[in-house]
Amino acid sequence: MQQPRDRARPDEATVDVHFAALPDALIACRVAEPVFADPRVKESFEALFRSFDGAASFQFFKSFRRVRINFQDTVAAAEARVRLHKSDFNGKELRLYFAQTLHIGSPRLEPPKPDKQFLISPPASPPVGWEQAQDATPVINYDLLCAISKLGPGEKYELHAGTPTTPSVVVHVCESEQDSSGGEEDEARPRPRIIQTRRPEYAGPAQH
């Protein structure tokens, strides 16, 4: 574990950070373009590091102009870094850095805590302390029902008087079915019959 240079204050939260003490890989930065395009230059580049470890493997990242060199042991990686760092290769200075492995807290990727799992629809399980809400009792305005019951067909009852800025609220009682239909004469009148459209005769396939 690498110790920080400055001691943390007592009131500050500390984070458990672990570094690999002896890395077994190097990162080559600002690698020349021919290393990615010319097979001969690429072979020469790999030969530099295989002189320290014959089983070294390489990962080329052309977009970033970087190459990761993986060694079998940390001693070979350290020796290659000491001897080849800032050396000249294909007319450019070669820069090598150790590939540090950083772990915060735990070296494993832990799943998130299910603190807000109840937000998933449908929820996997209700949160702690959650209770089913009871439906409220409907509000019945008995005064309104009493006033309407005293009204006759066609009469109205004003709930709220209108103001210059708001309209009035008035309840109208529907007329009886007999009054709205026009009396007994309308009941005796026969209802019109709906005549369906006749289907055309089928003439059959045309003869050629």
CA 199 from centre of chain:
58
Instruction: Judge if 24 and 70 occupy the same domain.
Output: yes
In a domain, 120, yes or no: no
Tokens (6 digits) for 142: 């008995």
The per-residue pLDDT for 6 is: 46
Q: List the CATH number of the domain containing 89.
A: 3.30.70.330
Round to whole Å and give the CA distance between 69 and 58: 5
pLDDT tens digits, one per residue of 87-126: 888 888 889 988 876 555 666 667 777 666 656 666 667 7
Residue 118's SS3 state is helix
Give the H/E segment covering residue 76.
helix 74-84
Query: Is 14:4 a contact under the CB 8 Å cutoff?
Result: no
Could you tell me if 100 and 146 lie in one domain?
A: no
DSSP-derived secondary structure letter, 47: H
Burial of residue 196, with CB atoms counted within 10 A of its CB: 0-12 exposed, 13-18 middle, 19 or more buried: exposed
For residue 153, which of 180, 183, 171, 176 has the smallest C-alpha distance? Answer: 176
What CA–CA distance (Å, rounded) separates 139 from 97? 76
**Number of folded domains in the chain?**
2
Same domain, 29 and 97: yes
204's torsion region: left (phi>0), alpha (psi -120 to 50) or beta? left
What is the rounded CA–CA span in Å between residue 68 and residue 61? 8
pLDDT of 174 higher than 60: yes
Crossing angle of helices 39-50 and 74-84, in 10° steps, is 120
Q: For residue 25, is it within any domain?
A: yes
Per residue in 41-91, pLDDT tens? 999 999 999 999 988 999 999 888 899 999 998 889 889 999 999 888 888
- Tell me the DSSP string of 128-182: TT--PPPPPPPP--HHHHHHHHTPPTT-EEEEE---SSS--EEEEPPPPHHHHHT
**Residue 156 and residue 86 share a domain:** no
Domain region containing 149: 142-180
Q: Omega of the bond prior to 114 within 30 degrees of 0, cis?
A: no
- Which pLDDT value is given to residue 201? 79
pLDDT on residue 40: 92
- Looking at every residue in the chain, the average pLDDT score rounds to 76
- Whether residue 65 lies inside any domain: the answer is yes
